[in-house]
Amino acid sequence: MGGITLGTKLINLAGQAALFAENGDAAAPGGGMLGMMLPFIAIFALFYFLLIRPQRREQSRRQAMLSAVKKNDRVLTAGGIYGVVAAVNRESDEVTVKVDETSNTKLRMTLSSIARVIGDDSSNQSEGK
């Protein structure tokens, strides 16, 4: 092909950058504490915005959903059981869920075992946005 390839250009550029960095270090000894800490600060900020902040947002959304659970809400439990809330006891953090209308079967469980409240989809979608 006879021309300089992209790989060769990148290698030459990296070599020139290394030479420039060596000469720059000799001119400015020490480099400063901020220069050393900047990558750590950037990594922490990235970690915060990608992991911690979304988790807090999800936690607050879930807490709001659980605090809004009331009698006659259709729910899905963490075990995959669908039912209707028959009673909510906030003091003991318990909820009673009716799972069968014909035999009046009820399950008593902790409030945190509710995975989601099933309502009309239009209100759930507008809350999520």
Q: Which residues of 3-42 are buried (b: 16+ CB within 10 A; e: fewer)?
A: eeeeeeeeeeeeeeeeeeeeeeeeeeeeeeeeeeeeeeee
- Residue 122 pLDDT: 42
> Residue 125's pLDDT band (boundaries 50, 70, 90)?
very low
Under the banding of pLDDT at 50, 70 and 90, the label for residue 124 is: very low
Indicate if the pLDDT at residue 29 is higher than 50: yes
Residues of the chain with pLDDT > 70, as a percent, come to 68
Across the range 111-122, mean pLDDT stands at 82
Phi–psi pair at 3, nearest 5 degrees? -100, 170
- Tell me, which fold does domain 70-128 have in CATH? SH3 type barrels. (2.30.30)
> Which sequence spans correspond to the domains of the chain?
7-64, 70-128
pTM for this model (two decimals): 0.59
The tens digit of pLDDT for each residue in 51-60 reads 999 999 999 9
